[in-house]
Amino acid sequence: MADEGNVITDLNLDTPSNGNGEDTLPAAGIVSQYVKDLSVENPNAPECYQWQDAPQLDVQFNIAARPINPEIHEVELKIVISAKAEGGTAYIVDLTYAGLIGMRNLEEAQMHAFLYAEGPRILFPFARRVIADAVRDAGFPPLLLEPIDFNGIYMQQLAQQQQAAGDPAGTA
């Protein structure tokens, strides 16, 4: 690096180059995100607004990914929430929040980790807001889901798969 007055130049001659201007460096990121499917049910309205007991929440998550083309994948974060009280079901929210993930020049293991850990981590705050708004619009206090450690869950599932592959009988 040379400093010539106010001009700073950085010449790195060790950077690999194809000479044709093609970018060959690894890259991954969110291209777009969207609500793919949203269902809000309020089956016991208006009676449920009179219930005094706090509902018990059941929150289920599922992550799916599929290729759109060699460099674009769709990641779906599916979240289903049921709120049940003594009087019955207060509400059910079923959200599929998706994102298009662009990836190129990554190893298969890196792509898998981005699709099932990093992509959902990036999408979750937006899905969380959609759920809070949907619950509020159904007439209940907004539901703010706790943050989720998608990377920790991903690493746990990889370890379980590796353990199962090393012990097919499941006797470990």
Specify if 23 maps to a domain. no
Specify if 10 maps to a domain. no
Specify if 7 maps to a domain. no
> In terms of residue numbers, what domain contains 59?
30-150
Convert the pLDDT of each residue in 93-130 to its tens digit.
999 999 999 999 889 999 999 999 999 999 999 999 99
Residues of the chain with pLDDT under 70: 1-23, 167-172
Closest to 57 (Cα-Cα) out of 137, 129, 146, 122? 146
pTM: 0.78
**CATH number of the CATH domain containing 36:** 3.10.420.10
Total of domains in the chain? 1
Specify if 172 maps to a domain. no
- Between CA 146 and CA 165 the distance in angstroms is 32
Q: Which H or E run includes 107?
A: none
